[in-house]
Structures are given as C-alpha cells and as structure tokens.
Amino acid sequence: MTLEEVKKEIRDIPDFPSKGILFKDLTTVFKNPQSMEYLTNILVDMYKDKKITKVIGIESRGFIFGAILAHKLHAGFVPVRKKGKLPASCFELDYKLEYGTATLEIHKDALNNNDTILIHDDLLATGGTLCAAIELTKMMGVKNIYANTIVELEFLHGKEAMDDVVVYNSLIRF
C-alpha cells in the first residue's frame, strides 16, 4: 500500500457542510482495514521516539486515530470537544472555521506543563481548529507540542498559522 493509494480512497462530498465547500471524507479510508493499518504504522513510526505522554484527538474524526496513536505510543488520550460536550470544568476557546465559527473545550485537569503532546486531527484546512487546540494546550502550560493530520488542504494555507508548533506533519496533501 502507498499514500497515493490511500489518497485515492478519500471521497469528495460537494457542498458539505455548506454550499461551496468540497468536503474530503475520510470515512472511506477508515472502513478499509489495510489503509487503517498502513496509516497507523506510518504515524506510530513518526512519533515513537518523541516521548509523547498524551495524544489529543480533536472532535470528532480526530478521535479515531488519536485513540489508536495513544494506545500504540503508550500515552494517555485526551479529547478536545465542541462546547458543552465535556462534563468537568473546562478551558474553552472560540475559533474560526472556513465556513463559520465554533468553540473547543478541554478539561482543565487533562494536561500539565511536563507533558509532551501530540495533537491529531483528520484534516487541516484553514488551521482554525488545530490552532485552537494548540492554544488550549498552551493555556495549560504545555511547551512540547507536536501536531499531525492525515490530510492537508495546502491551498488554504492552514499550516502557516502554526508557527509555534514544534513539529507539524501531514501525510496526504491536496
């Protein structure tokens, strides 16, 4: 298997979640066990020597590989969720999407300044969601931050918004 083969599995959904957006649907990749294993192995190899203590998965598709990576890297898993979905006291941050605005939250006791964090989401577009998750971790004193996505939409320049991230990697680019 190759990344090019995985890229071909990604389905385009026009006008989702709003008119004018061409949504890159990774559920077609997630349903293929060979693709899941291939991507898992690549991601684990990228971070196995980074001493990751916690993996943050961003709601909702970031939970899929975020949890897998946490397990494989022997790290804890921390969900970053949309407003109102976490039960305990949270830090929250409003941010802009390419098609609106939203709020992300993280439990106040989820991280500490000694953690080395890997933030995972399925896709980087304009960078709003990933940058909000990065800012939430910084609010908690975390200094060692890695960020990763499976797909990056390079034409939206989201990577440019992440100057402070130690390392950002994506596997597939459009």
Q: Is residue 161 part of a domain?
A: yes
Residue type, 162: M
With contact defined as beta carbons under 8 Å apart, do 66 and 58 qualify? yes
Q: Is residue 36 part of a domain?
A: no
Model confidence at 100, pLDDT cuts 50, 70, 90, reads confident
| CATH number of the domain that residue 101 is part of | 3.40.50.2020
- Catalytic residue from among 9, 92, 98, 135: 98
Residue 44 Cα distances to 58, 71, 141, 142, 169, angstroms:
18, 10, 25, 21, 12
Q: Is residue 87 part of a domain?
A: yes
Distance separating alpha carbons of residues 145 and 157, to the nearest angstrom = 20
With contact defined as beta carbons under 8 Å apart, do 142 and 110 qualify? no
Which residues is 117 bridged to in the sheet? 54, 145
Q: Is residue 138 part of a domain?
A: yes
Q: Is residue 6 part of a domain?
A: no
Is there a cis peptide before residue 17, judged by omega within 30 degrees of 0? yes
* Paired tokens of 33: 């066990």
Give one DSSP letter per residue of 103-163, joined into a string: EEEEETTS--TT-EEEEEEEEESSSHHHHHHHHHHHHTT--EEEEEEEEE-GGG-GGGG-T
> Is this model's pTM higher than 0.75 or not?
yes
Active site residue 61: yes
Angle, helices 62-72/33-47, rounded to nearest 10 degrees:
60
Model confidence at 163, pLDDT cuts 50, 70, 90, reads confident
pLDDT at 115 over 90: yes
For the stretch 21-51, pLDDT in tens is 999 999 999 999 999 999 999 999 999 999 9
Active site residue 98: yes
Model confidence at 153, pLDDT cuts 50, 70, 90, reads very high
Q: Is residue 113 part of a domain?
A: yes
- Catalytic residue from among 5, 11, 59, 61: 61
Domain range spanning residue 118? 50-173
Average pLDDT, integer, range 129-142:
95
Q: Is residue 104 part of a domain?
A: yes
Q: Is residue 56 part of a domain?
A: yes
Q: How many domains does the chain have?
A: 1
